[in-house]
Amino acid sequence: MKHNRLLLLIWLFACLGACQKQNKQALRVFVLSYEDFGPKYLAYTLLGNEWYQWEESEDENKSYRIQVVVYKDEDLERVKKAYPVQAEAEQDYRYVSYEAAMEYLNRHSQNPALSESSRQKLEETKLRLMEAFGETPE
């Protein structure tokens, strides 16, 4: 009987260790700022409003620190747990898949209606993402 309990305890500790190891695996994410996605009228189409998501409207006298978590080959719920939105700490994240971010950046970085500086900013963001995820530029 003692032998069975000991085996059960060893098995439990082994399972807990494996679960913790799996949860601590590095996420494939890269965190950018809202501004990295171009002018706010454009970034809105991908990220939503530039003000905190728990507020009803923008306060012109307030600066907002909104971060964008770009993830690749990750479960969105796992990403949200690692980067939680917390109103009390004014911690606001927007979550975008790598594929959606790249589609947006490819489309808008070539848009002649945007200013040269906006197109350049989008191209730089695209290159930063590609580098972060080990992709090579086309």
Structural domain contains residue 39: yes
Structural domain contains residue 118: yes
Structural domain contains residue 69: yes
pTM, whole model, 2 decimals?
A: 0.77
Structural domain contains residue 110: yes
Distance CA 131, CA 113 (A): 27
Structural domain contains residue 22: no
Buried/exposed code over 84-97 (b: 16+ C-beta within 10 A; e: otherwise): eeeeeeeebbbbbe
Q: Are 101 and 94 within 8 A, CB to CB?
A: no
Structural domain contains residue 12: no
Q: How many structural domains does the chain have?
A: 1
Residues 85-129: tens digit of each pLDDT: 998 898 899 999 999 999 999 999 999 999 999 999 999 999 999
Task: State the residue range of the domain holding 56.
Answer: 27-132
